[in-house]
Structure 1
Amino acid sequence: MTKSGTAFLALLLALSFDALIGSAEAGQEFMRTGGRTTQPVGHYEFCQSEPEECRQITPKQPPVLLTRELWAEMVDINNEVNTTVTPKTDMEIWGKEEVWSYPVGGVGDCEDYVLEKRRQLMKHGVPAGNLLITVVRQRNGDGHAVLTVRTSNGDYILDNLEPRILGWADTDYTYLKQQSMRNSGAWVSIEDDRNIAVGSVK
């Protein structure tokens, strides 16, 4: 990227961050979670092959502070993974219906995008308990996975189907379940009563 392009991107990041902080005065909502629920089969199998990813215990603490630097990292990582990984189904990649893994050979499905973004943000120091794999339902009824980043300004969604990082309530998904903030191998339900999507998730 040229110097002028880099400067323009930096300006866009600064403006978008300032807009976020300005909108925070009214208070960005956090998702309301319920009790323990079933772990997705794909995540259970992922835990068998990558057990350290499912043994992350995060002590009770406030969400990670949303700084200008963290916002820039979120934007960069979201863009990088979305543009370097080619979407393919698990059946096309593995010949199986459901396989969760990090992207292999530059291809992956929605869970693979999420796992890679989560891994990269953890390398930048974001605690595991603030990076939650989240299962949602699209408006057409299809299941989908996104990454929820819990910040001091609210819950934000990193999504391979949407280039922008949005507050969770600004998406048109119905939220079903996500990883526990305390234990990356446990899952909790989400109490989303907005009734946006229709259909059911397999």
Structure 2
Amino acid sequence: MVGFRAIGATLLLCLTAAFGPGNAEAVEARGPFMQIGVEAPRPIGQQGLCKRSPAECRPVAQPGQAKPLVLTRSLIHTIATINVSVNAQIKPESDEKIYGVEEYWTYPASTGDCEDFVLRKRKRLHEEAKIDLGNLLITVVKKTNGEGHAVLTLHTTDGDFILDNLNWRVLLWSDTPYAFLKRQNTGDPGKWNRIANGRDVLVGAVDR
């Protein structure tokens, strides 16, 4: 099995730290994969994006056809590079301040909200790393302070990993401090599903 944590030491020094050590208790409690539940409403911001750009929300695979991504050394290096690059290039700013509205999903130029980081990473990973969109899933979470947040889930054979503008490391979802609420459907980015085991925020993860 080739995993982020297993081969992190072989990456370039500047990227090695991007793959944080795993939390054994967290992985055991939540498991490496999110358990996907019933259909959930689309976020308001994505509803607007779908109206402006319908191609963003068209089905990408038939039900049951989407296969988890198989990780390789070179692919892990590319994923880490793109994650760090996007986090460094975009200045965090609220949609209210940029566009004058509470939620506006779009591809950022130089500033953007959390979901804009996600959209840019998703696009680059699809175009540059040739990762299937069914394995690049926008995910809605709740931070420990109760605020909503968006991250990108990378669905792989080794587990569900998180790319986050608040953390430049790529972490297994169970190693993050978030309560996971819902994410895009693997076959249809215009549909969303609740995360059945996503609300148990782990003390071990929060305290790190």
TM value normalised by structure 1: 0.83
- The answer to whether 1:151 aligns with 2:153 is no
RMSD: 2.3
Q: Is the 8 A contact 2:36 2:196 kept in 1?
A: yes
Q: Measure, in 1, the Cα distance between the counterparts of 2:66 and 2:145.
A: 36
- The answer to whether 1:42 aligns with 2:65 is no
- The answer to whether 1:72 aligns with 2:77 is yes
Cα deviations by residue, 1:1-48 (Å, 9 ceiling, x for unpaired): xxxxxxx9625657987x88xxxxx9x611001011100010010011
- The answer to whether 1:62 aligns with 2:64 is no
Q: Is the 8 A contact 1:29 1:154 kept in 2?
A: yes
Higher relative contact order (CA 8 A, sep 6+): 2
Q: Measure, in 2, the Cα distance between the counterparts of 1:66 and 1:16.
A: 16
Percent identical among aligned pairs is 43
AA partner of residue 119 (structure 2): L
Q: Measure, in 1, the Cα distance between the counterparts of 2:15 and 2:115.
A: 26
Q: Which structure 1 residue ranges, 5 or more long, are not aligned?
A: 1-7, 21-25, 198-202
Q: Measure, in 1, the Cα distance between the counterparts of 2:50 and 2:68.
A: 25
Q: Is the 8 A contact 2:18 2:168 kept in 1?
A: no
What's the CA shift for 1:189?
0.5
Q: 1:140 aligns with which of 142, 145, 148?
A: 145
Q: Which structure 2 residue ranges, 5 or more long, are not aligned?
A: 1-9, 23-27, 203-208
Aligned match of 1:129: 134
Aligned match of 1:32: 35
SS of 2:12 mapped into structure 1: helix
Q: Measure, in 1, the Cα distance between the counterparts of 2:180 and 2:84.
A: 23
Q: 2:122 aligns with which of 118, 125, 150?
A: 118
Q: 1:82 aligns with which of 65, 87, 103?
A: 87
Q: Measure, in 1, the Cα distance between the counterparts of 2:11 and 2:126.
A: 23
Q: Measure, in 2, the Cα distance between the counterparts of 1:140 and 1:171.
A: 14
Aligned residues: 182
Q: Is the 8 A contact 2:45 2:103 kept in 1?
A: yes
AA partner of residue 125 (structure 1): K
Q: Is the 8 A contact 1:56 1:128 kept in 2?
A: no
AA partner of residue 140 (structure 1): N
Q: Is the 8 A contact 2:35 2:195 kept in 1?
A: yes
The residue correspondences of 1:85-100 to structure 2 (distance < 5 A) are: 85-100=90-105
Q: Is the 8 A contact 2:134 2:185 kept in 1?
A: yes
Cα deviations by residue, 1:105-159 (Å, 9 ceiling, x for unpaired): x000000000000000110210010000000000000000000000111110000
Q: Is the 8 A contact 1:110 1:146 kept in 2?
A: yes
Aligned match of 2:193: 188
Q: 1:109 aligns with which of 110, 113, 136?
A: 113
Q: Measure, in 1, the Cα distance between the counterparts of 2:17 and 2:182.
A: 32
